[in-house]
A and B are shown apart, each in its own frame.
Chain A
Amino acid sequence: MNPPAPDAVVVDHVFKRFDGRVALDDVSVRVGSGELFGFIGPDGAGKTTLFRILTTLIVPDAGSARVLDIDVVRGIWTLRRQIGYMPGRFSLYPDLSVEENLRFFASVFGTTVEREYDQIAPIYVQLEPFRTRRAAALSGGMKQKLALCCALVHRPRILFLDEPTTGVDAVSRREFWELLAKFRAGGLTILVSTPYMDEADRCDRVALMQRGRILAIDAPRAITASYEHPLFAVHAANRYGALRALRDYHNTASVYPFGEALHFVDSRGGRDVDADRIASDATDALRAAGFTDAAVTQIPATIEDVFMARMGAPEGEEPEPRGHAA
């Protein structure tokens, strides 16, 4: 009988500050071997700092972290050969061609593109038509694919992708996630960070992060199921008017735009007032305010609803404006 595989990543009470600003504030998380794990949060959440610690580029102020059962501080040289890292900022050589970039990164790790071809094939086939093009002349989506290819060429056992889809259009983002699913199916452990909440569903598990802290860790479905109140979608042709009307409605706990609808939480929700009553009362209030086409229906929460409920006030709106990571 084989012993259970150790966790691929174990982060234990990690703290990190830069110039007095807190970047990571007591972060603990475990990622299982073979998981596709997402760190979801806006800029300043601490995602990049955490990835830089896990890839041995910086050391924590306090706490410890192990990757592939190797301590990230003491085992730096052993670990570096076994991890693949794609930083958030495009970090390939713009004046080298697609092929030259790939050969360079293979040679750094003492291998060749030919020897590792089966590993990178799922992406390389998409890059092949452009293999003589300078990296600088690739589209955003193709640059990201080349960077992923370069991060994989030495056959790492674990992959860290820092915001690979930021600023990339919705189509290229989708394709990138489809590629990640392929590598995950091959058994690779993948940690990926993103500011796009709707990408959480692509992951086995996610950690929601805000201002250096983890707000929640779980499977995306478990996180959305944890939403504490009945949530309603409000549709009205005059969405902005309906938003203002609901802000003045005495039973409103929160209301905010969400795509084509408004999302609405009633302060009586979850207590003795049932969902039908909440919906009909809100509809009545909107009709009385002149929004006769308003329709209110109960809906399941999304990751973004949970994130907003748990994040509290945006940075700078809390009582103490200073001392947090920007």
Chain B
Amino acid sequence: MTGSGEAIRAHDLTRTFGAFTAVDHITFHVKPGEVFGFLGANGAGKTTAIRMLTGLLAPSSGQATVAGFDIATQSESIKQNIGYMSQRFSLYDDLTVRENIRLYGGIYDLPLPDLRDRTARILDRLGLARAQNEFVRAIPLGWKQKLAFSVALLHEPKVVFLDEPTSGVDPVTRRQFWELIYDAAHTGTTVLVTTHYMDEAEYCDRISIMVAGRIEAMGAPADLKKEANVSSIDELFVRLARPAAESGSAAG
């Protein structure tokens, strides 16, 4: 299977753990440069799906390509062509801002002149030049998250996965973060993002809502609201996810 122009293409993607089906035949496409919101309740299967799409976990059945590479047979190529950032882990606290950038440049084997250029561009774009020699543990959370995102884009990946990137961030910085997302999408990077802030779902070009391993709704936020006759994505989310929330199990 080839990419055929789609940045992400999943067909009947499924993952089981014993008797439990965490991801249950999900099919979706994401276009290059699209901002795709990947929503779902805790335990709905989002993390399992993302682990498959990033080449970290083999699917039980179904297929997917990311940046044109097959997740089952070309997981190493996938890792070179994607970026990943999560709220929990992204940067090394005991390295400085500049050292973190250099470390990731080394991991992705960037030629030194490129790394120098991109480092300067990141520091300039984020206004971090004066903090470049500070330890990451000493900089504010909002800076950390913006830096982590820039580092995830350092090797100019085709697709970037963001797992709750704005959790706990103040409302102004949260919006600055979304402008970075738009900038990246504008230059052709495809963005798949998860969030528990329902207003952020509205910032996506399209979203999917996962419930108990399946995609129960997918489309542009405005279209989904119109179809379901609701005033917000929050309302739609609660309507779809509430019945499943009673089962109480952990997964994903």
Residues of A within 8 A of B (CB): 41-44, 129-130, 136-142, 166-175, 195-198, 210, 240, 256-260, 304, 307-308, 311, 313-317, 321-322, 324, 326
In this complex, the interface size class of chain B, counting residues with CB under 8 Å from chain A, is 35 or more
Pairwise interchain contact A307-B249, C-beta atoms closer than 8 A: no
Decide if B161 is an interface residue (CB 8 Å cutoff).
no
Establish whether residues A326 and B198, one from each chain, have CB atoms under 8 Å apart when the complex forms: no
Q: Which of B7-15, B22-30, B168-176 interfaces with chain A?
A: B168-176
In the complex, whether B103 has a CB less than 8 A from a CB of chain A is no
Q: Give the residues in chain B near A321, CB-CB below 8 Å.
A: 130-131
SS of A interface (majority): mixed
Q: Besides the contacts A195-B168, A316-B143, what 10 more A-B pairs have beta carbons closer than 8 Å?
A: A168-B42, A169-B41, A169-B42, A171-B41, A308-B172, A313-B172, A314-B142, A315-B142, A321-B130, A326-B137
Contacts of B251 in A (CB 8 A): 139
Across the interface, B139 reaches (CB within 8 A) one of A139, A142, A326, namely: A326
User: Is B156 engaged at the interface, CB distance under 8 Å to the other chain?
Assistant: no
Q: Is B55 an interface residue (CB 8 A)?
A: no
Hey, which chain B residues are within 8 Å of A195, CB to CB? 167-168
**Cα distance A129–B171 when bound, in Å?**
38
Q: List 27 A-B contacts (CB under 8 A).
A: A42-B171, A43-B168, A129-B248, A139-B249, A140-B43, A140-B250, A141-B41, A166-B168, A167-B167, A169-B241, A170-B41, A170-B198, A170-B234, A170-B238, A198-B198, A198-B199, A311-B171, A314-B142, A314-B170, A314-B176, A315-B140, A315-B142, A315-B143, A315-B170, A321-B131, A324-B140, A326-B140
The answer to whether B182 and A170 touch across the interface, beta carbons within 8 angstroms, is no
- Cα distance A173–B171 in the bound complex, in angstroms: 19
Contacts of B198 in A (CB 8 A): 170, 198, 259
Give Cα distance in the complex from A278 to B26, angstroms.
47
User: Contact between B202 and A168 (Cβ–Cβ < 8 Å)?
Assistant: no
- Contact residues in A for B44 (Cβ distance below 8 Å): 169
The smallest C-beta distance from A17 to any residue of chain B, in angstroms, reads 15
How far, in Å, is A9 (CB) from chain B's closest CB? 24
Residues of A within 8 A of B137 (CB): 326
| B250 nearest CB neighbor, chain A only | A139
| Interface presence of B57 (CB below 8 A) | no
Contact B232 A259 (CB under 8 A): yes
Q: Report which residue of B198, B225, B245 has the largest number of chain A beta carbons within 10 angstroms of its beta carbon.
A: B245
Q: Does B199 lie within 8 Å of A259, measured CB to CB? A: yes
